[in-house]
Amino acid sequence: MTTADLQAQLGFCHFCIATNLEEITEAQALKEPSPSGNPVNYVLGHIVAYRSHICKILAVPHPWKEAQIAVYDESWPKIDKTRLVSLAKLKADEEHTHAILKAGIEEFDGDWDELWPGRKEGSMQSYGRRVQFFLQHEAYHSGQLGSLRRTLGLPGKI
């Protein structure tokens, strides 16, 4: 695991997110796919919220307060829809958190292979593996945005 590996994965996720969000409107972002599923707003908010985990590992600040993170950490049917963030704000926060993570990965002065102290008892998860886990989670949801754009009648972008 290297800084370059993590930067490449983060960069590709960012590209996929931005590209898959092109041409999606605020109204479309709130539309639930049929027959069921999470809308674009939730998926993007979930990505931004989950970046808080990487921020903790890298010891860098995340711009959202815990209450906002909790909104997008809940399952879609249980969310208080009045607490959702606009698509424009989510896009801006995705850009902002991308920059924070990019800098945090670049400036990490530890050893990516060193065991992460916040791991569960008995886990052999290193700093690098933990960051990579959350970036793989993000990659999954980045692809989900591509599928969601198709359910909205928009052409694929990637």
For residue 110, the domain's CATH number is 1.20.120.450
20 pLDDT higher than 90: yes
User: pLDDT tier at 149 (50, 70, 90 boundaries)?
Assistant: very high
User: pLDDT tier at 103 (50, 70, 90 boundaries)?
Assistant: very high
48 residue type, one letter: V
Per-residue confidence (pLDDT) for residue 76, from 0 to 100: 85
Task: Decide if 32 is inside a domain.
Answer: yes
Task: Decide if 157 is inside a domain.
Answer: no
Task: Decide if 57 is inside a domain.
Answer: yes
Distance CA 80, CA 74 (A): 9
Between 87-107 and 3-21, two packed helices, what is the crossing angle to 10 degrees?
170
Q: Note the helical H segments in the chain.
A: 3-21, 26-29, 40-58, 66-73, 87-107, 127-151
What's the whole-number average pLDDT of the chain?
94
Distance CA 39, CA 31 (A): 6
119 pLDDT higher than 90: no
Per-residue confidence (pLDDT) for residue 156, from 0 to 100: 92
**What's the whole-number mean pLDDT along residues 21-26?**
98
Beta bridge partners of 126: 115
133 pLDDT higher than 90: yes
Task: Decide if 142 is inside a domain.
Answer: yes
Task: Decide if 156 is inside a domain.
Answer: no
pLDDT tens per residue across span 38-64: 999 999 999 999 999 999 999 999 999
Query: What's the pTM?
Result: 0.94
Per-residue confidence (pLDDT) for residue 35, from 0 to 100: 85
Given a contact cutoff of 8 angstroms between Cβ atoms, the answer to whether 37 and 71 are in contact is no
Given a contact cutoff of 8 angstroms between Cβ atoms, the answer to whether 112 and 54 are in contact is no
Taking the CB of residue 79, how many other CB atoms lie within 10 A of it?
18
Given a contact cutoff of 8 angstroms between Cβ atoms, the answer to whether 120 and 71 are in contact is no
Task: Decide if 141 is inside a domain.
Answer: yes
Per-residue confidence (pLDDT) for residue 121, from 0 to 100: 82
How many domains does the chain divide into? 1
**Please, how many CA atoms are within 13 Å of residue 68, restricted to the half-sphere of its CB?**
16
116 pLDDT higher than 90: no
Task: Decide if 158 is inside a domain.
Answer: no
122 pLDDT higher than 90: no
Per-residue confidence (pLDDT) for residue 123, from 0 to 100: 80
Task: Decide if 114 is inside a domain.
Answer: yes
Which conformational region is residue 156 in: left (phi greater than 0), alpha (psi within -120 to 50 degrees), or beta?
beta
Find the domain containing 115 and state its range: 3-151
Angle value at C-alpha 48, between 154 and 68, nearest 5 degrees: 115
